[in-house]
Structure 1
């Protein structure tokens, strides 16, 4: 089982692993081991044992790791390899997180509107391993969300600059949905609506932003955001 992609590991939206299209059921230990290797890359057994079982004595944690590796070798053969004493995912494993990271770290000007933007617009946001609260997962959730929102926002700005306003609006909505309290995301969505002449929709974005800020932070929209609609007040 050495061909790339014969094992599919999903970490975005939910956790799932399948072999040649057939879903494989695994236990919590195996799920966390695969997720840790997908997120952190090759790591020593001692590192993984401490990461996954931080409350346990080292010998007990290493025993749990050995059990997880043994079970995975039976349930998902070919998923793990040993690299100079470290454990790693094999090249047979296709990870959705890795494909998304490859996209968001690329210059947005090189994105394909037909392929890459469609992948972004197909998801209302990006959630890594929802319902997982391990510290190492929470840290990566925050990092990925920031990378994702920044990349989509930059892409929307580029489309707006190029006059591809409908495309910019779709991406701006994705940014705002992913970070509803983010001022730059709200500003971008208002500007996209105004560029299309959607004045009512632009006002509604501001009203929604005002409600969200008041409810969650007890604050009001900034002068910068309100100023985007000031020309309309003067008419």
Structure 2
């Protein structure tokens, strides 16, 4: 049985929202115009069953009810024709996604929550690669923006959770990679930067840790006029760490550097 990176069967009807819209019937991608894709996205994001009246009001708020109804009928017919009526279930009152359609967003949210709840652990970078993906990149619809923000919060928390787990296990490279990925989701979130700095410190690389702190502090001051928390600052409570990190590397005995000999005080 062929499966994709989310463990979903590739012989089913599949919708991809991350990072962009794609529709697959079995192993064939179905091209869709932006208008058709917008209709499908609206149906998925509104939930299990959406009234036709709500759909047309959301998609064409400036049209009269009769014109909106006509436009919706046309798009629903075109979607049905393009997908052999396998994607949507349509009645005179409601529109919903067919029960056997797989949506990558739904599966990604489920996996992320399992990771946060320690029901699943990712040990291979490929296993958490889906957490790097933005939801419908470039779409500016209000509902999409709202759902993107929700997904971003979940994936950032999941990446931070993974980073902490990797840190506890002494897997510093994995901790650095996941913490860095989390920081790209929300550059103002302190947790990811703090974990990143801690991982560098535990690798006996205070210079890199200090650069993370300085860069984050400058960003925070510029954007919202705040300082990093005391927990973050206390990572560098040993003045020798700060001093060493800001100095150029000095010559040391073979196999030993001045940075490696620095004592690091952690939170």
* Short-chain TM bin: 0.7 to 0.9
2:211 counterpart of 1:204: yes
**How many angstroms apart in 1 are the aligned matches of 2:51 and 2:19?**
28
Contact 1:121 1:174 in 2 (8 A): no
1:11/1:64 CA distance change after superposition, 3 Å: same
Query: Contact (CA 8 Å) 2:115, 2:121: kept in 1 or not?
Result: no
Task: Report the counterpart of residue 46 of structure 2 in structure 1.
Answer: 40
Out of 100, 114, 118, which is 2:108 matched to?
A: 100
1:113 aligns with 2:135: no
Question: Alignment length, in residue pairs?
Answer: 231
For 2:232, the equivalent position in structure 1 comes to 225
Q: Which has the higher contact order (CA 8 A, sep 6+)?
A: 1
Larger radius of gyration: 2
Match of 1:55 in 2: 62
Contact 1:12 1:126 in 2 (8 A): yes
Paired residue for 1:30?
Answer: 36
Structure 2 match to 1:131: 138
**How much has 1:190 moved relative to structure 2?**
0.8
Matches within 5 A, 1:134-153: 134-153=141-160
Q: Between 177-186 and 202-211, report the one with greater CA deviation.
A: 202-211
- Contact (CA 8 Å) 1:4, 1:93: kept in 2 or not? no
2:198 to 184, 191, 194: 191
* SS of the residue 1:17 aligns to: strand
Instruction: State the alpha-carbon separation in 1 of the partners of residues 123 and 169 from structure 2.
Output: 16
- Closer/same/farther in 2, CA of residues 225 and 62 from structure 1, 3 Å limit: same
TM-score normalised by L of structure 1? 0.85
Task: State whether residues 4 and 92 of structure 1, in contact with CA within 8 Å, keep that contact through their aligned partners in structure 2.
Answer: no
| RMSD value, Cα | 2.6
Of the structure 1 ranges 79-88 and 192-201, higher mean CA displacement relative to structure 2 is found in 79-88
Contact 1:121/1:170 (8 A) holds in 2: no
Which one of the candidate residues 60, 68, 75 is aligned to 1:68?
Answer: 75
Change (3 A) 1:161 1:128: same
Q: What is the TM-score when the length of structure 2 is the normalising length?
A: 0.76
Distance 1:121 1:198 in 2: 26
Deviation at 1:32, TM superposition (A): 0.9
Q: Quickly say closer, same or farther: Cα 1:66–1:122, change in 2 above 3 A.
A: closer
Task: List alignment gaps of at least 5 residues for structure 2.
Answer: 1-8, 244-262
- Assess if the C-alpha contact under 8 Å between 1:194 and 1:202 holds in 2: yes
Q: Aligned with 1:87: secondary structure? A: strand
